[in-house]
A and B are shown apart, each in its own frame.
Chain A
Amino acid sequence: MKTLIFNSDSEKYRSKPKLTVLTRKVGLFIASAILMIYVLGPVGWLLSSSFQTEAEIVSVPPHWIPHEPTLKNFKAIFFQEFEEVTYENRSRVDTSAGGYIPTTAKYLLPSMWNSFIISIAVVILNLLVGVPAAYAMAKIRFWGRQASIYTILTTRVIPDIALVVPFFLVIKNLGLLDSLSSLIITYLAVTIPFTVFILVGYFESLPDELDKAARVDGCSRFQALTKVFLPLSVPSLVAVILFTFLTSWNEFLLALMFTQTISSQTLPIIVAGFTSDFTISFSFINAAGVIAIIPPVILAIFFERYIVSGLTAGAVKG
């Protein structure tokens, strides 16, 4: 605040534009700083507390930056270096007072692998069924075209929580409870409408002449799609892949209902399991949270351009 007043004072007698430029700069700086604190503050706090020891994390007021950073929590996750609570040592490590690292820490990596497999499968299936459908809806003038677009978008309006009950009954009757395939199938329902939405928007923005030229040159519909349209739509395909991957990676509700053991539990389920147990070390829970956050955040930062352009393609003409 002080510098602001000082600066505007010293600029007082100069030409007006310079002053406005300066106020604008200061204003933008303050606004950006507030925004960054709002966005990064919570994440930074989680990150900082994941490197703290149990003694440090319970200090009042909290240490914003760890005074004696430790990798103990991450070691427990990646190398299974944790102290098991047994009958012999339980008096030494009082579990009821909090501060122990659970043996379920060893499930974090397998659950991450489950999440990965599911996400990849959902991405591939989305592309296989979504791309041809979106092409047909955008470029072929057929009877029932509008109706099929609306049908697909409509299915996305139905709340997940309303689908959970019927999904559960269907999955149970198919005998697929607690299997990766149950999640792959249900995530398709969640992701396909969005995939089609983005791709139809993008294909429509490409000129019809491309399609006609390909057809005149003797391409079949399928060839027009694979040889002309696919190479042109890499940006929106990347967006679709990212959206689908992130949705599957982050999904919680359906995974909570359909998985029971580590053979199918995904990362969000394992992490959520820690949060409801009050005896577990706070810093360890936060480390698990950090592990869950890292992959999607890296993807988002790396492919920011594609995400924004993918949203744009679908939304603006919308």
Chain B
Amino acid sequence: MSDQSKLTIGYRLLRRFNYETRSAALFILPVMSVLALVTVFPIFYSLYTSFFNLKLTRPHRVPFVWLDNYIKVLSDELFWESVQRTVSFTLMSVSAIAVIALLIALLLNETFRGRRVISTIVLIPWAIPTVANGLLWKWIYDSGYGALNGVLLQLGLIDKYTVWLGDADRTLPLIANAFVWKEVPLAAILILVTMKSIPADLYRAARVDGANAFQRFVHITLPSLKPGFMLVMIYETMMAIRHFDLFFLLTEGGPGEASHVVAWQIYVETFRNLSFGTGSAMSYILAIVTFALAYFIIKMLGRRV
């Protein structure tokens, strides 16, 4: 290598740390140090913990166990069952959210009197705390005095009150329904925003070519909504996979193990069995899977998010 190229490399390095980079570094330093403290460090700490047999019930003996925690988690039948439940909960919720949000967006995209008021009211479920959401649906599904039983009885659809959350086959769909209700407003806004960005010329041209409303919807609206849908699907998939609150508030993983999802499994393993080693291993598996999934959806559905 000649002296000339060494000089250029040195010069380039120096150029990289010019005034711009230095001031940028100063501006970014606070965020980076906060994130290093509250996210990056804990995540690596968790990786470290996942190699030890750490139990809070036995704090003074913490043996290093290599990958035993991972093996233990991955060979646990309950874990795989809970993975299955998380997958079906996620599929149910995300598809329902996409459909309902699309319908709401189509309505709010029209111009009519009262549209503004309605679009404000639609935000309400998004704003209310998950705890209140859980409480709300627990009360609606209540077997003795709940609104669901009341409505169905008055409509004559059932002849006696049903224990909704006690039925293992219905638990996941019912929790998904509560989840969807809260998540739909955000998804609808994101889709509506994308819908508004479709140029009106496209519709006019299609009309000239003789396309009816349905054809215009299928051939113009749906394809143009792809970026919006992609964002909604990525975001809602992330939210559904990690969702914990409603499982805690509505069923605590029950009845039996009907709503024992991965997030609930992590909670039970860590904070009820106080086994931090396997809990960390599970958290790590979940984090990596979520990550891979986000990457996969982005690759599958399109260019950049």
Contact = CB atoms under 8 A, between A and B. Distances in A.
Given A161-B283, A285-B139, A300-B124, 19 more contacts: A35-B122, A39-B125, A42-B137, A45-B136, A45-B147, A59-B145, A61-B149, A133-B30, A157-B238, A158-B291, A159-B283, A161-B267, A164-B267, A221-B23, A225-B27, A268-B132, A271-B129, A286-B139, A311-B186
The 6 closest A-B pairs by CB, nearest first: A166-B42, A159-B242, A300-B127, A166-B46, A189-B38, A136-B27
A118 to B, nearest CB: 13
A105 interface: no
Contact of A157 (B125, B129, B294): B294
A36 interface: yes
A166 B227 CA distance: 34
Given A282-B139, A286-B135, A292-B131, A129 B30 contact: yes
> Chain A interface secondary structure, helix, strand, loop or mixed?
helix
B135 A162 contact: no
A25 B138 contact: no
Q: Could you say which of B119, B194, B242 has the most chain A C-beta atoms within 10 Å of its C-beta?
A: B242
B231 interface: yes
A316 B193 contact: yes
A132 B28 CA distance: 7
A161 B112 CA distance: 43
Nearest to B154: A61
A152 B30 CA distance: 12
A139 B279 CA distance: 42
Interface string A6-45: 0000000000000000000100100110011011101101
A31 B104 CA distance: 9
Contact of B132 (A45, A154, A289): A289
Contacts of A249: 129
Interface residues of B, number: 97
Nearest to A156: B238
Interface string B36-55: 01111111011001000000
Contacts of A271: 129, 131-132, 135
Given A25-B112, A161-B244, A292-B131, A132 B30 contact: yes
Contacts of B104: 35
A201 interface: no
Contact of B287 (A130, A148, A159): A159
A78 interface: no
Contact of B227 (A141, A221, A312, A318): A318
Contact of A128 (B30, B103, B139): B30
B253 interface: no
Contacts of B21: 140, 142-144
A188 B34 contact: yes
B39 A159 contact: no
Contact of B107 (A31, A185, A312): A31
A69 interface: no
B170 interface: no
A220 B26 CA distance: 13
B222 interface: no
14 contacts: A32-B118, A46-B135, A58-B144, A130-B31, A132-B31, A155-B35, A155-B39, A157-B238, A157-B294, A163-B39, A166-B43, A196-B31, A267-B129, A271-B135
